Structure formats: structure tokens, C-alpha cells
């Protein structure tokens, strides 16, 4: 089945450690996005990529990094510079710009906690 796979489901980070969240899609979508969700809040955009080998900062990019070397993969690294990383992280994708108005589809999320 086509979809977006995020892994792991749960992740724990020690102080000073970098961790990487995986996001893979087999929908042949050009655009991919990372959001952070805190309790009782909406989704805040961390990074997005409209095409392979290109990505842009979102509203809360500080302390995070991404890469987009392959169309189907958009990993997110939470660095030690992110002082409050505990949150639910959601990856999404859509067909991309200039391809008609199409919705975003989401993965099942990764919950990151501090040890």
C-alpha cells in the first residue's frame, strides 16, 4: 500500500545527543514536510522540501536539520542545540507545487522524549 512511514514510533534522547527521525514515502510525491506538535497546540512547520536536493526552513527550524538526497526520504535530525525537543513529530507529503491543488498526507508520527 502507498503511504508515509515514520520510524521509530518512540525515541528517547540523552542530553547533548543528536537523534534522527526517519520519514519514507512511496507515493511519488515531490514535496515533504516536518511538523512539530506540542500538547493542545496545532502543527508548527520545522522544514519542508518541494523537490529533491532542496529544502527550506519553516517557522521553528532552529536546532533541527534535514536532508533530501532521495525523493522518497526526508530524515529530520534533532540536534543538541534544540533545548526543548520533547514533542510529537509528524512528517507529511504532497504531490508538490505546480501539480494541482492536492492535500497533504501524514505519517503516524514519532514521539520524542528526553531521558
Partner 1 sequence: GQQLNQSPQSMFIQEGEDVSMNCTSSSIFNTWLWYKQDPGEGPVLLIALYKAGELTSNGRLTAQFGITRKDSFLNISASIPSDVGIYFCAGRDTGNQFYFGTGTSLTVIP
Binding site for partner 1 (CB under 8 A): 4, 6, 31, 33, 40-45, 48, 50, 58-59, 88, 90, 92, 94, 96-97, 101-109, 111
- Quote the CA–CA distance of 100 and 115 in Å, as a whole number: 44
- Grid coordinates belonging to 89: 513529530
Minimum CB distance to partner 1, residue 16 (Å) = 27
Cα dihedral sign, 92-34-113-42: negative
Minimum CB distance to partner 1, residue 59 (Å) = 5
Closest CB to partner 1 among 17 and 28? 28
- Grid coordinates belonging to 86: 520533547
Amino acid at each position: 500500500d502507498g503511504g508515509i512511514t515514520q520510524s521509530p514510533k518512540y525515541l528517547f534522547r540523552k542530553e547533548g545527543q543528536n537523534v534522527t527521525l526517519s520519514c519514507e514515502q512511496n507515493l511519488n510525491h515531490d514535496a515533504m514536510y516536518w511538523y512539530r506538535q506540542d500538547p493542545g497546540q496545532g502543527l508548527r512547520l520545522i522544514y519542508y522540501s518541494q523537490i529533491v536536493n532542496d529544502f527550506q526552513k519553516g517557522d521553528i527550524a532552529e536546532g533541527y536539520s534535514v536532508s533530501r538526497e532521495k525523493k522518497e526520504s526526508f530524515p529530520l535530525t534533532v540536534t543538541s542545540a534544540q533545548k526543548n525537543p520533547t514533542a510529537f513529530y509528524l512528517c507529511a507529503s504532497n504531490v508538490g507545487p505546480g501539480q494541482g491543488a492536492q492535500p497533504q498526507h501524514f505519517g503516524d508520527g514519532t514521539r520524542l522524549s528526553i531521558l
